[in-house]
C-alpha cells in the first residue's frame, strides 16, 4: 500500500501545460527533501502528483470542458467582490483610498499576462505580512510581495482547481488544497515544492493551519475532517456531518469548527473522532411546507482562543454566536453574566448550554442561538464546575461554598444539594451514570457521588490541593494537583483509603429554582 504522504519522485514526466510558464520548471529531489532553488522573480516551479489512469485523465478533460455550476467558494468569492465594490464607493476604513489591485487577464492571455486569468478561489497572507498567495481555477498558485502586490513566482502541480491556501503561522511554509484531492506543501522563501499528501476521497473544500506543523482539511462529500501531522507523516480522520463538509476554521491548536451543506455546524476536538457539539439547521430552513431544506453553511470563522464563532450561508446571510456579558451593577437590566464566567457545559444533544460565574449564578441558554432561557440561583459562593449527565438534561453544579447541586433543566427545577467536601470544590465531571466526581481543593480528597444510592466514595492520595479532574470512562478518572503530581484512579476497586459515608441531603420547600 502506498503511503498516505507521497513525496515527489525524481525523473517524473514533465507537465506540458506548465512549460508555457514564465520560467524553468523545477522538480523535487528523489529523497523527498526540499531542494533549494534560485529565488529569481517570475519563476515557475512544478510538482507532479501520482500519475492517473488514462480513463481518469479523459474524464477530467471532459469535466473541464463542461460548464461547472457555482460552488461554495465561488459563491463566497462573488459575494466578496460585491462587498469590495461597495467599499470602493464608501472608501477604505482608515484612509478612504483603494490600496492595491491584483491584476487579472482574460482566458487565452496566459503567455503574455502576469496574473490570474481564471476565477481566484482562495488567498492567504503570511503572518508577518511579507507574502500573499492566491489560487485559481486554472490550477495555479501565485506568490506576491504583499505590500506592493508585486508578482514573484508561480507554483504549478495541482491537477485541478486550487481550493484552499494557508500559511503556517510564524513561518513561510504554505499549504495548498485542491479539487484533485491532494494537499501540497511549499517553501515560499526558497521557491520550492516540498511534498504531496493524499487521503481525501472527494474534492477538498476547506483548509486551515496555525503554528504547529500540521493543517486541517475538509473533504466535501467524503464527509471527513482530517488533521495532517506533517512531521509524523500521519493523519487523523474525523466523521460526524451527514452532508458535504464545505468549510473549516481552527479555533485554537486543539479545537476547530466546520460547516456543511446539511445546514449543520460542528465543533471538534483533535482528541475525539466525533464532534463535541453539533448544531443542526443552524441558520434555519427555507422552502414550502413539507419541502423545507436547511440553509447551506458555506463559511465559518472563529476569533482565535475565544468563544466567538461566525457562520455564513449561501442565501440568508451570516450569524454570530457569542455569550452576552455586562458590567457590574447592570444585573437588573442586563440579560447575561456581569462577572467572570468560571465554567461552562453543553448537553450531549447540543440543546442546552449552561454557564456559571463568580456571582453565584448559573444561566441556561438555548445552545444553537445562545438565547437565554432561565437562571438558577442557590449557591452561596462562586460556581466552579458544571456538567450535564450524558444522554440527559440533568445538570450538576459545584461551588466554592463546598456543595454540589442537582438540577432538572427541562423542568427548570432544583432537585437536591450534596455536602461532604471540607474546602472549596475545584473540579467536577460526569458521564452517563447517575453520579458525578469532584475534587475538594485543599481538603485533598476526590469524591464519587452516587446520587441514586445517596452515598459517596472518598479517595486520598495527593499531598497538595487537588485542582482538576476528568473522567476517562465510567471506571477511571485522572486528577491533577498543585504538588505537581497527576494520579490515575480506579473507582471500581476503590483503593487509596476508601471509606463510605451517607450523603447529607438537603431538600427545600422553597422555590425550586432557588436551590436554597
Largest CA distance in the chain: 85
Contacts of 507-512 with C-beta under 8 Å, sequence gap 24+, read 507/416, 508/414, 512/413, 512/414
Domain regions of the chain by residue span: 120-229, 245-490
Helix (H, G, I), strand (E, B) or coil at 344: strand
CA–CA distance, 4 with 26 (Å, rounded to integer): 23
In this predicted structure, what is the pLDDT of residue 219? 86
Count Cβ atoms below 10 Å from residue 200 Cβ, excluding itself: 24
CA–CA distance, 392 with 81 (Å, rounded to integer): 46
Mean pLDDT of 222-239: 92
What percent of the chain has pLDDT above 70? 70
CATH number (2.130.10.10, 3.40.1350.10, 3.40.190.120, 2.40.170.20) of 120-229 reads: 2.130.10.10
Helix (H, G, I), strand (E, B) or coil at 483: coil
Identical fold for domains 120-229 and 245-490, yes or no, is yes
In this predicted structure, what is the pLDDT of residue 242? 87
Measure CA 337 to chain center. 25
Q: Does domain 245-490 have CATH number 2.130.10.10?
A: yes
Residue 488: DSSP 8-state? E
Q: What average pLDDT does the structure give for the chain?
A: 77
What residue has cell string 531542494?
35
**62 pLDDT higher than 60:** no
Contacts of 148-152 with C-beta under 8 Å, sequence gap 24+, read 148/100, 149/100, 149/101, 149/102, 151/41, 151/42, 151/114, 151/115, 152/41, 152/42, 152/191
The model's confidence at residue 31, banded by pLDDT at 50, 70 and 90, is: very low
What confidence tens digit (pLDDT) does each residue in 377-410 have?
999 999 999 999 999 999 999 999 999 999 999 9
Q: Which neighbouring-strand residues pair with 133?
A: 124, 143
3 state SS for 250-279: ECCCCEEEEEECCCCEEEEECCCCCCCEEE
Look at strands 192-198 and 206-209 and give their pairing.
unpaired
Measure CA 46 to chain center. 31
**293 pLDDT higher than 50:** yes
In this predicted structure, what is the pLDDT of residue 509? 38
In this predicted structure, what is the pLDDT of residue 111? 76
Look at strands 150-156 and 43-46 and give their pairing.
parallel
Burial of 467 (0-12, 13-18, 19+ CB in 10 A): middle
In this predicted structure, what is the pLDDT of residue 314? 67
What confidence tens digit (pLDDT) does each residue in 94-112 have?
555 566 776 677 777 777 7
What confidence tens digit (pLDDT) does each residue in 316-330 have?
555 555 555 666 666
Look at strands 352-357 and 341-346 and give their pairing.
antiparallel
Mean pLDDT of 224-239: 92
As a residue count, the chain comes to 516
| Model confidence, pTM | 0.50
In this predicted structure, what is the pLDDT of residue 79? 72
For the chain, how big is the Rg over CA atoms in Å? 28
| Better-predicted residue by pLDDT, 291 or 253 | 253
Count Cβ atoms below 10 Å from residue 128 Cβ, excluding itself: 12
| Better-predicted residue by pLDDT, 222 or 311 | 222
CB-based contacts of 275: which residues, under 8 Å, 6+ apart? 238, 240, 266, 267, 268
Mean pLDDT of 51-69: 49
H/E element, 418: strand 413-419
| Better-predicted residue by pLDDT, 18 or 93 | 93
In this predicted structure, what is the pLDDT of residue 285? 84
In this predicted structure, what is the pLDDT of residue 477? 85
Residue 88: DSSP 8-state? H
**495 pLDDT higher than 80:** no
Question: Across the chain, how many H-helices and E-strands are there?
Answer: 2, 40
What value, to the nearest 5°, has the Cα angle with vertex 135 and ends 126 and 123? Answer: 40
Q: Which triple of cell numbers denotes residue 244?
A: 458535504
H/E element, 299: strand 297-302
H/E element, 293: strand 293-294
Helix (H, G, I), strand (E, B) or coil at 208: strand
CA–CA distance, 240 with 255 (Å, rounded to integer): 15
Helix (H, G, I), strand (E, B) or coil at 428: strand
Closest Cα to residue 44, out of 123, 130, 157, 125?
157
H/E element, 74: helix 72-90
Q: Which neighbouring-strand residues pair with 202?
A: none
Closest Cα to residue 225, out of 252, 202, 195, 253?
202
Expressed in angstroms, the distance from the first to the final Cα of the chain is 64
CA–CA distance, 187 with 465 (Å, rounded to integer): 48
Closest Cα to residue 262, out of 286, 242, 279?
242
Look at strands 362-366 and 150-156 and give their pairing.
unpaired
Amino acid at each position: 500500500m502506498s503511503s498516505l504522504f507521497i513525496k515527489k519522485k525524481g525523473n517524473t514526466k514533465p507537465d506540458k501545460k506548465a512549460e508555457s510558464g514564465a520560467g524553468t520548471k523545477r522538480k523535487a529531489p528523489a529523497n523527498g527533501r526540499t531542494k533549494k532553488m534560485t529565488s529569481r522573480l517570475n519563476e515557475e516551479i512544478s510538482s507532479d502528483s501520482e500519475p492517473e489512469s488514462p480513463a481518469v485523465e479523459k474524464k477530467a478533460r471532459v469535466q473541464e470542458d463542461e460548464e461547472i455550476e457555482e460552488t461554495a467558494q465561488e459563491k463566497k468569492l462573488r459575494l466578496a467582490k460585491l462587498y469590495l465594490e461597495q467599499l470602493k464607493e464608501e472608501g477604505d476604513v482608515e484612509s478612504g483610498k483603494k490600496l492595491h489591485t491584483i491584476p487579472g487577464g482574460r482566458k487565452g492571455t496566459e503567455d503574455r499576462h502576469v496574473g490570474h486569468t481564471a476565477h481566484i478561489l482562495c488567498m492567504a497572507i503570511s503572518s508577518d505580512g511579507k507574502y500573499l498567495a492566491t489560487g485559481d481555477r486554472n490550477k495555479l498558485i501565485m506568490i506576491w510581495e504583499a505590500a506592493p502586490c508585486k508578482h514573484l513566482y508561480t507554483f504549478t502541480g495541482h491537477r485541478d482547481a486550487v481550493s484552499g491556501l494557508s500559511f503556517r503561522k510564524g513561518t513561510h511554509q504554505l499549504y495548498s488544497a485542491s479539487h484533485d484531492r491532494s494537499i501540497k506543501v511549499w517553501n515560499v522563501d526558497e521557491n520550492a515544492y516540498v511534498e504531496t499528501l493524499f487521503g481525501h476521497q472527494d474534492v477538498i473544500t476547506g483548509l486551515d493551519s496555525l503554528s504547529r506543523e500540521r493543517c486541517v482539511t475538509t473533504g466535501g462529500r467524503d464527509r471527513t475532517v482530517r488533521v495532517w501531522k506533517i512531521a509524523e507523516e500521519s493523519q487523523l480522520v474525523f466523521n460526524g456531518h451527514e452532508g458535504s463538509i464545505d468549510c473549516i476554521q481552527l479555533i485554537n491548536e486543539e479545537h476547530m469548527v466546520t460547516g456543511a451543506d446539511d445546514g449543520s455546524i460542528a465543533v471538534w476536538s483533535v482528541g475525539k473522532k466525533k464532534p463535541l457539539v453539533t448544531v443542526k439547521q443552524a441558520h434555519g430552513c427555507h422552502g414550502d411546507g413539507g419541502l423545507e431544506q436547511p440553509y447551506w453553511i458555506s463559511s465559518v470563522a472563529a476569533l482565535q482562543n475565544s468563544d466567538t464563532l461566525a457562520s455564513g450561508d449561501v442565501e440568508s446571510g451570516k450569524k454570530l454566536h457569542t455569550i452576552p456579558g455586562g458590567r457590574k451593577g447592570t444585573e437588573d437590566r442586563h440579560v447575561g453574566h456581569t462577572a467572570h464566567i468560571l465554567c461552562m457545559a453543553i448537553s450531549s444533544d447540543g440543546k442546552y448550554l449552561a454557564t456559571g460565574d463568580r456571582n453565584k449564578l448559573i444561566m441556561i441558554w438555548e445552545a444553537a442561538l445562545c438565547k437565554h432561557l432561565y437562571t438558577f440561583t442557590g449557591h452561596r459562593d462562586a460556581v466552579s464546575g458544571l456538567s450535564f449527565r450524558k444522554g440527559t438534561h440533568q445538570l450538576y453544579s459545584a461551588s466554592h461554598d463546598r456543595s454540589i447541586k442537582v438540577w432538572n433543566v427541562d423542568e427548570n427545577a432544583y432537585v437536591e444539594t450534596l455536602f461532604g467536601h471540607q474546602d472549596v470544590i475545584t473540579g467536577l465531571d460526569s458521564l452517563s451514570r447517575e453520579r458525578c466526581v469532584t475534587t475538594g481543593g485543599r481538603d485533598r480528597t476526590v469524591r464519587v457521588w452516587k446520587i441514586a444510592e445517596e452515598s459517596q466514595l472518598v479517595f486520598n492520595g495527593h499531598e497538595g490541593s487537588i485542582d482538576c479532574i476528568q473522567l476517562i470512562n465510567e471506571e477511571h478518572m485522572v486528577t491533577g494537583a498543585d504538588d505537581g503530581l497527576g494520579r490515575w484512579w480506579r473507582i471500581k476497586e476503590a483503593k487509596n483509603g476508601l471509606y463510605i459515608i451517607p450523603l447529607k441531603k438537603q431538600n427545600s420547600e422553597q422555590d425550586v429554582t432557588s436551590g436554597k
